[in-house]
Structure 1
């Protein structure tokens, strides 16, 4: 009996010891990997629809630029990359919408242009996506490019005519297209939008621009030729705004 009682005590001690040791063991968990940062792109909106006085620009269902006036533009805005929906709205009314695939780490100038109420051979409202380019950082240069989104227009050229000279920097830009950047002359300049088919014809529009060193200019021919509302939207940019 005494041996059996002693054996029982030993077994009880061992069971208690094992339980105590087990309770002191710590469970190790594998940490979950941190989510990868979301891929993004940069966009800038330009309002060049002549029959929409002001509009909101939305991207992936979120309004990013409110009450942008005709001939106005937004700052650079960071957005999710990939296939995204964008729209131009006036209040609750959608004027124009589209889906576009935005590449990560790229920069897009998005020009809304054309006519909401198409007459004759006018271009219906649409978007022009200009995959933007960086230029050489040089504070001694002026950079110029030309975009043609004239609603009822033809291919046009952009010429510098200061002091009676004639320098055709962009000879033939079709409707709904954009040139690459080129170095341009500086300071006060006289410019003309001319018919690309015959440069000896009178210009369809003339304007002046003070071109500042280090600035990047996008001259956007917009509006209508038929009712004499063709205009030029001069969107300015600087390399420092792209960092």
Structure 2
């Protein structure tokens, strides 16, 4: 069983936060990338053949990047190898005023892009919101369970690889959570998540339950990305 504290993660250690705002059909799309392929090296990301992210290591979530609505060729290649060595080359269509996460998922031998639509609109009341995304290629379908004084409470049930949960409205507290095989009682990974008023988070389950003995940094983990910053950061309180 693994344990950890799900730290808010982003490219170069910065939170991947986007402030919610009013809808506007002229607003650009916003797109971020997570490197979730456990045995792939650090990667460069290209949009339309142009590099937009460089030397992105496993478990890193980038900041949101603005794109005008339309269709784009998105490629992922080993760092410094050039777009001609891409291991992912796919077309991604984005719409105005919509946020997306493009995840590099699976082992390197069958790596592919998984595109998620992110709901980063402000909500009322401004409770913390959390979504779970299962990106661990050797893990079965999982439940996410909250430890509670009256017994375990299932927050997410039977989430399969490359699947995502609904957004969950929570109170602004620190939560002790466990990841378990669907329907099972034994945790495969325990972690804590500290949530704040008005923030939206995505918990990415990544890595391998059974990494190779000689592998470095491939073990199962949970990366907590801050999709929308808490009210205290947005309004300086």
Task: Please report the TM-score for the alignment, with normalisation by the length of structure 1.
Answer: 0.73
Number of equivalences? 198
Correspondent of 2:157 among 146, 149, 171: 171
- Name the counterpart of 2:223: 233
Establish whether residue 213 from structure 1 lines up as the match of residue 197 from structure 2.
yes
Q: Higher relative contact order by CA 8 Å / sep ≥ 6: 1 or 2?
A: 2
1:137 and 2:116 are equivalent in the alignment: no
Which sections of structure 2, spanning at least 5 residues, go unmatched? 1-24, 212-217
1:14 aligned residue: none
Higher helix residue share? 1
- For the pair 1:43 / 2:31, whether they are aligned, the reply is yes
2:57 aligned with 1:72, yes or no? no
Kindly report which structure 2 residues correspond to 1:120-135, keeping only aligned pairs within 5 A, or say none: 124-135=110-121
Q: Which runs of 5+ in 1 are unaligned?
A: 1-36, 118-123
Conserved 8 A contact 1:162-1:191: no
Q: Which residue of 2 aligns with 1:23?
A: none
Greater C-alpha radius of gyration: 1
Partner of 1:115: 107
Counterpart secondary structure, 2:108: coil
C-alpha distance in structure 1 between counterparts of 2:28 and 2:194, whole Å = 34
- Deviation per residue, 1:38-90 (Å, 9 max, x gap): 98421011111111242121111121122222111111111132221101122
8 A Cα contact 2:180 2:187, kept in partner: yes
TM-score with structure 2 length normalisation? 0.75
RMSD: 2.5
